[in-house]
């Protein structure tokens, strides 16, 4: 798969939060979806010569695509593969890792995780980002809120480097988590605030799925700079979405 421009009538498959966000994005691009459907629709009555964008991240992509293919739709792709073809939108949840360099491979091998599950989830994340292959693992659902896309306005408001207030960090450090979810600005946010993280040693969670930084740069920077921390990795959705790194100081485990 690769970024795909809309070259025929567009149909959105999925009426949930991701479908609503996709509709906002396409309207901004001047692309009006021909219709929106889900598994409850009567497939027989709908036109088939269209481009179907799958707007579902809470289920595996390929079984959905297979069902749609068998129902007569031949042109089916993940919605993020389409959005990726329009960089002017400025949202890259569907970023392509592309071919790995020798440096990429060496840095990925240098990462260390503190439990076996992290290795499984991280490798699954890489499989989708690099090869567009899905593993058989099931994402962790206990933090299901992480799977829910925001509105386009909410996403745009988060697209900036976050400068954490030291007073707020003191309040958070005892029993809450510093959450870094900046829609692609995560690595710069971490760098700008590392002196505070070293001083106060909070629990930290970081979204790793908005840019190529999440391939290894975010993970390695945190591992190199946070001493005596436990590092884990989890997926909370399919298609490489809602991928988070968790950092916990060992004295708080």
Which tens digits make up the pLDDT trace of 125-158? 999 999 999 887 778 776 555 655 689 999 999 9
- pLDDT, average across residues 201-210: 95
Which tens digits make up the pLDDT trace of 144-196? 556 556 899 999 999 999 999 888 787 777 668 899 999 999 999 999 999 99
Domain annotation for the chain: domains and CATH numbers: 10-89 (3.40.50), 102-252 (3.40.50)
Which tens digits make up the pLDDT trace of 102-114? 999 999 999 999 9
The β-bridge partners of 13 are 37, 54
pLDDT score for 19: 95
């Amino acid at each position: 798969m690769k970024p795909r421009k809309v070259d025929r009538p567009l149909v959105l498959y999925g009426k949930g939060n991701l479908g609503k966000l996709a509709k906002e994005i396409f309207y901004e691009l001047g692309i009006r979806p021909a219709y929106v459907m889900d598994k409850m629709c009567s497939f027989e009555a709908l036109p088939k010569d269209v481009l179907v964008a799958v707007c579902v991240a809470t289920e595996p992509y390929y079984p959905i695509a297979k069902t749609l293919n068998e129902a007569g739709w031949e042109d089916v792709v993940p919605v993020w593969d389409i959005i990726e073809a329009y960089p002017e939108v400025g949202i890259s949840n569907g970023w392509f890792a592309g071919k790995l360099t020798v440096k990429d491979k060496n840095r990925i091998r240098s990462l260390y995780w503190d439990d076996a599950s992290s290795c499984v989830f991280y490798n699954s994340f890489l499989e989708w980002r690099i090869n567009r292959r899905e593993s058989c693992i099931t994402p962790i659902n206990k933090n299901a809120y992480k799977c829910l896309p925001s509105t386009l306005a909410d996403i745009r408001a988060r697209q900036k480097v976050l400068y954490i207030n030291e007073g707020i960090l003191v309040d958070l450090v005892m029993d809450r988590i510093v959450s870094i979810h900046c829609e692609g600005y995560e690595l710069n946010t971490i760098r700008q605030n590392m002196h505070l993280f070293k001083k106060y040693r909070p629990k930290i969670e970081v979204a790793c799925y908005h840019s190529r930084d999440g391939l290894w740069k975010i993970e390695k920077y945190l591992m190199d700079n946070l001493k005596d921390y436990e590092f884990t990795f989890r997926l909370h959705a399919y298609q490489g979405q809602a991928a988070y790194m968790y950092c916990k100081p060992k004295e708080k485990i």
